[in-house]
Amino acid sequence: MYELEEKGYLYFLIVIPILAMLFLYVYYWKVKKQKEFGNLDLLKKLSPEKSVFKQVLKFVLVLLGLTFIIIGLVNPKMGTKLETVKRQGIDIIFALDVSKSMLAEDVAPSRLEKSKQLVSQIINQLGSDRIGIIAYSGSAFPVLPITTDYGVAKMFLQSMNPGMISAQGTSIDQAITLATTFVDKKDKTNKLLVIISDGEDHTDEYQEALEEAKKLGLKILTIGVGTEKGGPIPLKRNGIVESFQRDQNNEVVITKRNEEVLKTVAKSANGGYVDGNSTKTVLDYVKNALDNIQKTEFESTQMADFKSQFQWFLGFGFFLLFLDIFLLERKTKWVKKMNLFNEKDN
C-alpha cells in the first residue's frame, strides 16, 4: 500500500522526455556537422579517446538523478503495517430531513442547506467519535453506516437532496426506527441520535419508535430549522425558481417550523432541543451535550501506518548527479574491449 503526498510535482516528470529528445537532436546535429566537416573515420583517429558510450551514460545518469529527485519531492509513503486503533468516543447518528418542505428559503440559503452546514460544523468539532448518516422524509434511507471517516461523511452529506427518497412527507418515526438498527446491542458505546428537521411530521406515530430507542439507550437531540412564519416551497430548474409548491386548491403551500414535535421527541428520549437557525447556538449546545455523555473505548477500522520514503529517492538522485560529475567522457579499457557503439579503432 502506498500514497503520494505531493502529486503536483509529478508534472515535472514531463521534463525528462523533453531533455531526452533534446539530447538526441543535438547528437544527430553534431554527427551531421561532423560529416560536413570531414571524414568520420579520420575524426575518430584524431580523437581516439572520445567515447560515445560515456556521453550517453552521463546523460542517462542525469535523467535518472532528476527523476529520483522529482519522485522524492512527491514524497511517496509506503504502508509498513496494519494496526487496530483504539479510540474513546460515542456513536453519533445524524438523521437529516430531506422532505420538500426543507427546500423553503425562510432560512438562508434554504432549510436543507442550512441543515447540511450544521452537520458539517458539528463534525468539524468532533474528536474521535464515530458517525453515521440517515436521510428521511416519507421513509428513511441509510446514507452512511457508522464510521470514523469524516471526509467521506461530508462527501455523502453534500449529495443529499429530496430526490433520493421517493416517498414524500415527513415521518420522524421512520428515522428513529432506522437509527435503532445502527445500534449494536452488544456494543456498550454510548449513542446519540441528532435529528435535523423543520418539525413537520405527517404521522404522529413516533411514540413506539421512541420506546424502542429508550430500551437501547439511544438519546435523541433535535435541531429545528426554519421559522414560525414559514415560507413557500420553491420549484427550481437549473437553479432558477419557476414556481412554488401548491396544494389541491391551487394555493401556494406555506411550510412552517413545528418546534413542539421536535421538543416532544427530544424530551421523550432524555435529550434536548435547540434552535437551528443560529449556528453558534447549535455548536455550543451540541458541544455541551457531548461533554456530558460518557466516552467509551472502541476499536476503529484497521488503518495503514504510512511512512515517508522521500529521503531514499532524494539521496539516490543526488548520488547519481554527483557520480556524473566524476565520470569522464574518455574511453575506459573494459568498455573499449566490449566495443560498444562500434567504438574500436579501425
User: Are both 295 and 321 inside the same structural domain?
Assistant: no
User: Are both 204 and 271 inside the same structural domain?
Assistant: yes
Give the pLDDT of residue 341: 46
Largest CA distance in the chain: 105
The residues that bridge with 254 in the sheet, in sequence order, are 232
Compute φ and ψ for 253, nearest 5 degrees.
Answer: -75, 130
Which of 301, 317, 332 is the C-terminal boundary of a domain?
Answer: 301
Assigned domain for 38 exists: yes
Give the pLDDT of residue 37: 67
Give the pLDDT of residue 121: 95
pLDDT per 10-residue tile (average), the chain, 346 residues: 79 91 87 68 59 79 92 82 70 93 92 95 90 92 90 92 81 90 78 91 76 87 93 86 85 90 88 93 93 75 68 90 74 52 49
User: Are both 245 and 276 inside the same structural domain?
Assistant: yes
User: Are both 216 and 286 inside the same structural domain?
Assistant: yes
User: Are both 191 and 274 inside the same structural domain?
Assistant: yes
Assigned domain for 255 exists: yes
User: Are both 294 and 338 inside the same structural domain?
Assistant: no
Residues 6+ apart with CB under 8 A from 333: none
Expressed as residue numbers, the domain containing 259 is 85-301
Give the pLDDT of residue 226: 93
Give the pLDDT of residue 28: 85
Give the pLDDT of residue 3: 73
Q: What's the CATH code of the domain at 251?
A: 3.40.50.410
Give the pLDDT of residue 197: 93
Assigned domain for 80 exists: no
User: Are both 164 and 222 inside the same structural domain?
Assistant: yes
User: Are both 292 and 313 inside the same structural domain?
Assistant: no
Assigned domain for 106 exists: yes
User: Are both 282 and 251 inside the same structural domain?
Assistant: yes
User: Are both 218 and 236 inside the same structural domain?
Assistant: yes
Q: Crossing angle of helices 279-291/111-124, nearest 10°? A: 40
Give the pLDDT of residue 346: 44
Give the pLDDT of residue 155: 92
Residues 6+ apart with CB under 8 A from 225: 102, 107, 111, 114, 115, 118, 196, 197, 198, 257, 276, 277
Closest CA to 252 of 225, 231, 229: 231
User: Are both 159 and 254 inside the same structural domain?
Assistant: yes
Give the pLDDT of residue 322: 86
Q: How far apart are CA 148 and CA 132, in angstroms?
A: 9
Total residues belonging to the chain: 346
Cell of 92: 453519533
Q: Is this structure's pTM higher than 0.75? A: no
Give the pLDDT of residue 225: 95
User: Are both 281 and 191 inside the same structural domain?
Assistant: yes
Euclidean distance between the first and the last CA atom of the chain, given in angstroms as a whole number = 54
**What's the number of domains the chain is made of?**
2
The residues that bridge with 115 in the sheet, in sequence order, are none
H runs (alpha helix) in 9-110: 15-37, 40-46, 52-74
Q: What is the 3-state secondary structure (H, E, C) of 102-138?
A: HHCCCCCCCHHHHHHHHHHHHHHCCCCCEEEEEEECC
